Each structure stands twice: as structure tokens, then as C-alpha cells.
Amino acid sequence: MRKAQHSGRSPNTNQRNQATRETVTRFFAELAAAGHVPTFERNSATLRFDVRGDDKSAGETAERWYVAVTNGDVTVSRRNGSADAVVRIERRCLESLVTGRLNAQAAYLRGLFSCEGSMAAVIMFQRCLPGPPGSTGRIGPLTSAQVMAERRAG
Amino acid sequence: MSDRLVQILEGNTFVVSDDRGDIEARAEDPTGLFSFDTRFLSKWVLTVNGERLTALSTDDLQYFKSRFFLVPGTGTVYVDATLTVIRQREVANGFHEELRVLNHRDKPVDLRIRIDAASDFADLFEVKDALKKKGKYAHRVVDGNLVLRYFRDTYVRETWIYSSERAAVDERGLEFAVTVPPHGEWATELDVLASDGEQHALAGRRPAHPNMARGLEKWLDRAPRMECDWQPLEHIYRRCLTDLAALRFSTLTMPGRSLPAAGLPWFMTIFGRDSIFTSLQSLPFVPELAATTLRALAERQGTRVDDFRDEDPGRILHEMRYGELTAFEERPHSPYYGNADATPLFVVLLDEYERWTGDTKLVRDLEQAARAALAWVNLYADLQGNGYISYQRRKAKTGLENQCWKDSWDSISYRNGDLPGFPRATCELQGYAYDAKIRAARLARVVWHDDSFADQLLKEAAALKRRFNKDFWVADGEYFAVALDSDGRQVDSLTSNIGHLLWSGIVEASKARAVARHLMSPRLFSGWGVRTLAEGEARYNPIGYHTGTVWPFDNSFIAWGMRRYGFKDEAAAIASGIMQAAEVFEGRLPEAFGGYQRSMTGYPVQYPTACSPQAWSTGAPLLLLRTALGLEPHDEHLLVDPALPDLIGNLELLDVPGRWKRMDAFGRGRIDTRRFTAR
């Protein structure tokens, strides 16, 4: 798995930052448009994402996303309110999460984001994240002869 | 694991040391302080005036506490008995250690007491493979405390070591230069804290859990009281409850509640299958374990397709880990979903839990999760499009080959010993799927108020039962094949798996007698219990992990199946055999024991495994008690229909919790089981 990269300055940096911002914005817009997420049903929680930017001022919050879940219904805003869980994360890392290139649990264990407050809210939220690009769930069958041949070889 | 090693634990934090309390990790000696699947201390060695110590005695006071009586010197003949060193250690978030040095002379004595400390921060997965670490170490002294640090990119793990007495601290340990008065004493308290970064350690020293002993007492008090003519059973029962307490594990999302982890100490984590089976076994005794298991598994139910983790929407997780290899996705345990049974079993547990407790709120809360699990069974698990659950890992390097409870490489074979291809559809999976549908139909009617869903589930279940009894039935042997292979051909060996089919109720009434007869035949029943694979099959080996050994957990579910189909004597015989084995193992059943014929060895031969106690072995006597007493919830009542082996005599189980509040159950052992157990 690729880790979220800390970019150096390059001619494409601004362009890439722009694309990252758009991907994150699109994810939350789609979540808001869905309005209801079945896997969140009978769950209610609020999460605030304090997103750090991409350049040298990376320590400061560049944008905020506020997700409120009420029994499966989802609203998204940019407000700076108190929340059950406050997630502090770099924009590039958030982009990796919302595109399925980075697993949320692995990212948390690696210290790529921090969570203040309810861990349960974060675990709930990660259920709406997509799987890795390229995962199809399909694999060709193996015959008994192949299995036995592998065993003899191994 | 060698006998001289001492283990104490709380949740997923545990310490393995030698009998002096020292830790000196080597590849072949996996000692240390572990927490969240990471070793936070690989060295913790006490010396007095440069000398190592010798243990006079070591007491395991509780599963979370031990005490070491030591004297300086390592000579085997002569020890200097003018000093005693006492270490008392208790596991919390790390551990708390009280170190006392007693001077028995009438003169003061000057001592240099040193503790050497170090950590390799190995992932549990790395410990036995001795893998090379990819990160860097940075140890330092902060305000007179020693901090061991490991980091790799943003991944940070630290061990903070505090002492109540002032010490000279360097990066390799702590040293005390003290004078102990005549017949006097010197003491210090040491705290070792596991941390994943500075913010946690800065929160300050956390005291050892003060209520752990009281918590254990309360746990034992809440469980039903048992009295019995056969003394060993009372001991077995108490041992099981105490071991279950030690196996309790809390997730980060539900700190105050616990579920059963799989085994101690290396498997102190959520395993979908093990946590569900153990919850089922212990439902009549400690129902809260089931509730937490269901919630924790639902929280992490699969929602997407992820080939690395074998994740699909609706799938219930297999194993969760927190170490460095998982963090960097070198292992897929974040969590890993590669099992084919936990998902239908999740639904089975949800229904069984409600039947016992009447907790409809949980069933409503988990309606979506249950529906997603049932959808997984029909859609994602049907790899061959033949209406059966099959499994095949999607990543050969990191995935599990056999995704059923018999998960070793050679567990599923034809009579001639050949191994089938993939996908494999093992028989018990179809039984679980059938049972899940039947049980979900009840929940749909009673709790979710969705009659059309209930009707659909019953229709699917009936069709599945019909097809299964045709496709899996080995006509020339009169039993069910262990699996269908990738061509839909029967994998025709005779195994204990057919006992799970009785438990699930998928066996047609006309076939049940033949199945029960096979299970109790000399080929499968050793006199102690049912073997995993029948004598006479090519891969049969009485000490083969899943190819001939007897698994207590397996047997407890087979006994349940026997009761379901009315085979009371057979269920009693299994209870009798396994309970007598438990007596030999002093109340603590191993994961598996040898499949030798009982009369050949006279005692059950333990299969060597690293983990003890194992959760579902711990739960086996509990489930056998239930099946022997014939405990069955029926509406608001507890039905009791005892069929006890005569070995047990009179048995009383008092204050069985459930939707009836508390009820008592009585039985008298009348069944002579010797025609099965005298083998």
C-alpha cells in the first residue's frame, strides 16, 4: 500500500493540491447528496474533520468538514462546532482515505491521523469509505490437481 | 511454552517473564511486556551489586498479578540469604511493579540495585520470525524518567518507565545506590507504560487497575452457582469461569464492556469465529459476552470489496491486530475478513442471544448488520454460483487458505488423502447458512416485523436443505461429505464436521440416525470424544492438528446437535468423555488432544499448543453442562430436560440468568455411557 506522500515543491504541486482538494470536496458532496447511509442506521454521531493543508503552513487547519449522522441520515457542513469525534488529518491523507487507497484502521495505527473523542464514531464513519481501486473480489478457480502439484512443489 | 515462564495479563496487555520476573527476549523465548500486539519491553533485568538473582518462590496471585521471592546470586548450591528481594507485579496499561529489598543482617548494607531495560518494539507477528525492524530507535531521559522510543515515519511507540524513588537513569536502565538499615527495608514502585506517542505519556502515570480483584469476584458471583455429586465438575466449572474472566477483552470503542478473545496470551484479540463460538457456549452463564461480541463485530462489518483483506460487504471479520506490520499493511489484519463461517454464525448468535435474554433492542440495533450478513451469504459467499458458501483467498501471500474452523493446510481432504481445489464449500458452512436463515426468519417476524422477508428466508432455507441433503450425501457411506470441491465433486472423507450439521438442523430426519451412528462409531469416537477425522482415512493421524485430534469445542457443539435430534445418550457420552478429560487436565481443557483410542493411553494426550487457556475450549464444559441439563429457552421460560451421564450424579445449577430473570435447573445422572466411553 502506498503511504500518503509528503510532497516536495514541484511545478505540478499547485495543480496536484487543487486536485486533492476537489477529490475531498467531491467525497463529502456525494455523502451529503446520498442523505442516508444504510450502514449508519440506528447510529447517531457527529464528526469534525480538521484538515491541514499541503504546504509549509501545514500545522494549521485549512478546512473543516462537519458530518452529522442521525439514525442513518447524514448532513455535511463546514461548521466549526463541537463533535463527538474530532479527527485531525492532512488533506493528502484524507484524500487517500476517501479514494480507498489507504485503509482507515491502518492509517490510525500508523499515526497518520489523530482522533479526539469517540473512537466508535470514527469506526462507524469508516464504513462509508470505498475499497481499494482495483479490488474486484474475483479470482480464478484452482483445480485439485493444481493444489496437489503446488503442495508437492512446495 | 516452557513451564518456567510466568504470564500475567489484562485485556491485550500481558507480561511473560522467567521465574525471577526478568525479561530477556530471545527468538526461542518470546518473553516481554506486550500491549496491542507490540512488545514494549524486551529486556527487564534486575541485579543487586552486579549479580543476578535466584527465585525462591513465584506465586501467580491472580491472572493479572504475580509475586517473586528472590535472593541475590545464581549459585545452585549456596545462596547468600542475608537479603531478600520481593517483586510484585500487576498488569495494567503496561505494568506496575513493587520492588522491596529486605536486609536480614544487624548491620546496614550498601547496595547498587539496577534494572536494565530495553525494547525492540517487535510486532507480535515478528517475534517468532525474528524479522528485522524498519524503523529507528531513540531512547532518552525525560525529567529523570526513562523513555524508550521507536519510530517509522509517523508510527511512534514508546515505553515510559517511572520510579517512585530517585534513580540514576541512563538510556539502558535505572540504578539505585541505597543503604538499607539493619533489619530494615528499601522499596520503590516502578511503572512501565505503553504509549503510542507523547500525548499519551504526558497524560501522566496511570495507576494499576485498583478494582481488578473485586471485578473478578463480582464476575464469579454473577454467574449461576453449581453444585454436584461429582466433585471434579465444581472445580472444572470454577476454572472455566475464572479463565473466561482472564480472556475478557475490551475494544477501543467500548471500553467498559468485554468480549471473549480467542486465547491467552498470543490471541488476545477479536476473532470473529472464536468470539462467536465462545459467546454461544457461555450464553446461559455470562450473557453479556455475547452482547459485546455482536456489537463489536457489527461495528467492523465489511462494507466494501478489498482483496487484500478478503473483505466484502456484510462479511464479519476474522481477526483484528494492532501491530506495526498491520499498520504498514504488510499484514492484512486491519481487520482481516478471511473466514466463511463467522458471517452466518453472527446471525445465529444474534437469535440465540435474544432467545435467552429477550434483549430486542440489540436485535433492532443490529437489523441492518444482520441483513447485510444474510446478503453476504447469498451474494458474495456464493463463489461458484451453485447456492453454497465457498471460500478462496484472494491474495495467496497473505490470505488464509482454509477459511473454516479447520484452518490448517491439510484439514480438508478426500478419502485417499488428495486435497481438493478452490473454491471449497465445506459442509458445516451450509449448515450455518441454513440455521442463520431459519433464525433470521424468526427475528424478522418477531422483532423487525417484516413477514415477507421471513417468508423469503424460510423458502430459501427449505430449498437449501433439500439441495444439500442430495448434493453432500455420500450414498455408499451414509454420511455427509466434508466439502464440495471446485468442480462440485464430493470431498468424501468422514469427519467431525457432520456433527455441526446436526447442531444447525440442516440434516433431514431420515438421515440423522446414520450421522449420529458415524459420530459415535469407533472410527470417530475415541472414548474421550469425536475425532476431527475418522480413523481409516488416508490423512488420519491421532496427533494431526485437524486430521485426527479431538477438539473439546468441536465436541461441545456436536453434543448440542445430538440433543437437537433427540440423541440423548450420545450427547451424554460426549459430555462424559470431555468432562473426564477436563478432570485430567485439572479443569483447563487444551485446544485439542490426541485422538488415540482411550484404552490405549488411559489418559488424554495433550496436543502441544502455545495458547492456554483457549477461549472455546474454556467454553466447552459450559456448553456441555447446558446440553446435559437440556436447558432451552422457550418464550419466557427456561425448559430443563436433563440427560446426564451417571458419572455426574445429582447436579444443580442455580440462578441461571435470562429473560425469566433467574431460574434453577436440576438433574440426576442416569445415563450409562460406558458403551461409548469404555473404548
pLDDT, tens digit, 9 for 90 and up, residues A20-56: 999 999 999 999 999 999 999 999 999 999 999 876 5
CB contact under 8 A, B421 and A145: yes
Burial class of residue B136 (count of CB atoms within 10 Å of its CB; 0-12, 13-18, 19+):
exposed
Mutate to test the interface with A, among B196, B202, B257, B299 (most CBs of A within 10 A): B299
Q: How confident is the model at residue A7 (pLDDT cuts 50, 70, 90)?
A: very low
CB contact under 8 A, B299 and A120: yes
Chain B closest-CA separation from residue A112 CA (Å) = 6
Q: For position B656, what pLDDT does the model report? A: 98
- Quick check: helix, strand or coil at residue B577? helix
CA separation for the pair B230, B569 (Å, rounded): 19
CB contact under 8 A, A103 and B420: no
CA separation for the pair A129, A32 (Å, rounded): 14
Q: Which of B155, B254, B485 sits opposite A144 (nearest CB)?
A: B485
Q: Is the pLDDT of residue A4 over 60?
A: no
* Range(s) of chain B covered by CATH 2.70.98.40: 6-209
- The cell numbers describing B661, all together, are 430473570
Cβ neighbour number for residue B255 with a 10 Å cutoff: 11
Q: Which residue of B has its CA nearest to A6?
A: B153
Q: Which residue of B has its CA nearest to A101?
A: B306
Chain A closest-CA separation from residue B125 CA (Å) = 15
Contacts B202 to A, Cβ<8 Å: none
Mutate to test the interface with B, among A105, A119, A129, A138 (most CBs of B within 10 A): A105
Q: Which of B155, B306, B485 sits opposite A132 (nearest CB)?
A: B306
CB contact under 8 A, B154 and A111: yes
Pick the CATH number of B268-493 from 3.40.50.880, 1.50.10.10, 3.40.190.10, 3.40.50.720: 1.50.10.10
Contacts A119 to B, Cβ<8 Å: 252-253
**Which residue, chain included where needed, has cell 540495585?**
B113
A21: DSSP letter:
H
Q: For position B74, what pLDDT does the model report? A: 75
Task: Tell me the residue range of the domain where A34 lies.
Answer: 13-132
CB-based burial, B563-573: b 16+ in 10 Å, e otherwise: bbbebbbbbbb
CA separation for the pair B62, B216 (Å, rounded): 9
Say how many CB pairs under 8 Å bridge A and B. Answer: 118
For residue A109, give the CATH number of its domain: 3.30.1050.10
Confirm whether A139 is domain-assigned. no
- The cell numbers describing B582, all together, are 477436563
Given strand B43-48, what is the order of strands in its sheet? B23-24, B43-48, B109-118, B173-180, B168-170
In chain B (679 residues long), the average pLDDT of successive 10-residue segments reads 65 90 82 93 96 90 89 71 93 92 96 97 82 90 94 95 96 97 97 79 44 78 96 96 91 85 87 98 97 97 98 98 96 97 98 98 97 98 97 96 97 98 98 98 98 98 98 97 96 98 98 98 98 98 96 98 98 98 95 95 83 92 98 96 96 97 96 91
CB contact under 8 A, A39 and B335: no
Q: Which of B303, B311, B327 sits opposite A109 (nearest CB)?
A: B327
CB contact under 8 A, B253 and A119: yes
Paired residues of B117 in beta bridges: B44
Cβ neighbours for B305, distance < 8 A, ≥ 6 positions apart: A131, A135, A136, A137, B311, B312, B313
Q: Which of B311, B335, B422 sits opposite A142 (nearest CB)?
A: B422
Cβ neighbours for B10, distance < 8 A, ≥ 6 positions apart: B64, B91, B92, B209, B212
Q: Which residue of B has its CA nearest to A118?
A: B253
Mutate to test the interface with A, among B152, B331, B368 (most CBs of A within 10 A): B368
Mutate to test the interface with B, among A36, A37, A71, A135 (most CBs of B within 10 A): A135
- Quick check: helix, strand or coil at residue A79? coil
Angle (deg, nearest 10), helices B497-504 and B552-564: 40
CB B384 within 8 A of CB B423: yes
Q: For position B205, what pLDDT does the model report? A: 43
CA separation for the pair A20, B513 (Å, rounded): 65
CB contact under 8 A, B308 and A135: yes
Chain A closest-CA separation from residue B391 CA (Å) = 10
Q: For position B608, what pLDDT does the model report? A: 76
CB B275 within 8 A of CB B615: yes
ipTM metric: 0.92
CB B659 within 8 A of CB B636: yes
CB contact under 8 A, A110 and B154: yes
Mutate to test the interface with B, among A110, A123, A129 (most CBs of B within 10 A): A110
Contacts B485 to A, Cβ<8 Å: 144
Contacts A71 to B, Cβ<8 Å: none
Confirm whether A28 is domain-assigned. yes
Contacts A127 to B, Cβ<8 Å: 301, 303
Q: For position B249, what pLDDT does the model report? A: 87
Measured between its terminal Cα atoms, the distance across chain B in Å is: 32
Confirm whether A96 is domain-assigned. yes
Contacts B419 to A, Cβ<8 Å: 144, 147-148, 151
Cβ neighbours for A103, distance < 8 A, ≥ 6 positions apart: A1, A132, B306, B309, B329, B334
* Range(s) of chain B covered by CATH 1.50.10.10: 268-493
Cβ neighbours for A154, distance < 8 A, ≥ 6 positions apart: none
Query: pTM for this structure?
Result: 0.94
CB contact under 8 A, A123 and B299: yes
Chain B closest-CA separation from residue A105 CA (Å) = 6
Q: Which residue of B has its CA nearest to A116?
A: B199
Count of domains forming chain A: 1
Confirm whether A43 is domain-assigned. yes
Given strand B490-491, what is the order of strands in its sheet? B425-426, B483-484, B490-491
CB-based burial, B151-184: b 16+ in 10 Å, e otherwise: bbebbbbbbbbbbeeebebeeebbebeeebeeee
- What's the whole-number mean pLDDT along residues A139-149? 94
CB B468 within 8 A of CB B389: no
Q: Which of B307, B309, B326 sits opposite A109 (nearest CB)?
A: B326
H or E stretch covering B9:
strand B6-10
- The cell numbers describing A105, all together, are 484502521
Q: For position B202, what pLDDT does the model report? A: 38
Cβ neighbour number for residue B270 with a 10 Å cutoff: 25
- Quick check: helix, strand or coil at residue A70? strand
CB contact under 8 A, A148 and B419: yes
The residues on A that touch B, with CB distances below 8 Å, are 1, 3, 38-39, 41-42, 100, 103, 105-106, 109-112, 118-120, 123-124, 127-132, 134-137, 139, 141-148, 151
Q: How many residues does chain B have?
A: 679
- Quick check: helix, strand or coil at residue A87? strand
Q: Which of A109, A131, A142 sits opposite B306 (nearest CB)?
A: A131
Mutate to test the interface with B, among A52, A147, A151, A152 (most CBs of B within 10 A): A147
Cβ neighbour number for residue B75 with a 10 Å cutoff: 10
Given strand B38-41, what is the order of strands in its sheet? B6-10, B13-17, B32-35, B38-41
**Which residue, chain included where needed, has cell 444482520?**
B370
Mutate to test the interface with B, among A31, A101, A122, A142 (most CBs of B within 10 A): A142
CA separation for the pair B317, B311 (Å, rounded): 8
- The cell numbers describing B484, all together, are 464440495
Chain B closest-CA separation from residue A133 CA (Å) = 9
Burial class of residue B57 (count of CB atoms within 10 Å of its CB; 0-12, 13-18, 19+):
exposed
Q: For position B196, what pLDDT does the model report? A: 87
Pick the CATH number of B6-209 from 3.90.550.10, 3.40.50.1360, 2.70.98.40, 3.40.50.300: 2.70.98.40
- The values of phi and psi at residue B94, to 5°, are 110, -140
Q: How confident is the model at residue A3 (pLDDT cuts 50, 70, 90)?
A: very low
Cβ neighbour number for residue A17 with a 10 Å cutoff: 17
CB contact under 8 A, A105 and B364: no
Contacts B368 to A, Cβ<8 Å: 38-39, 41-42
CB contact under 8 A, A129 and B304: yes
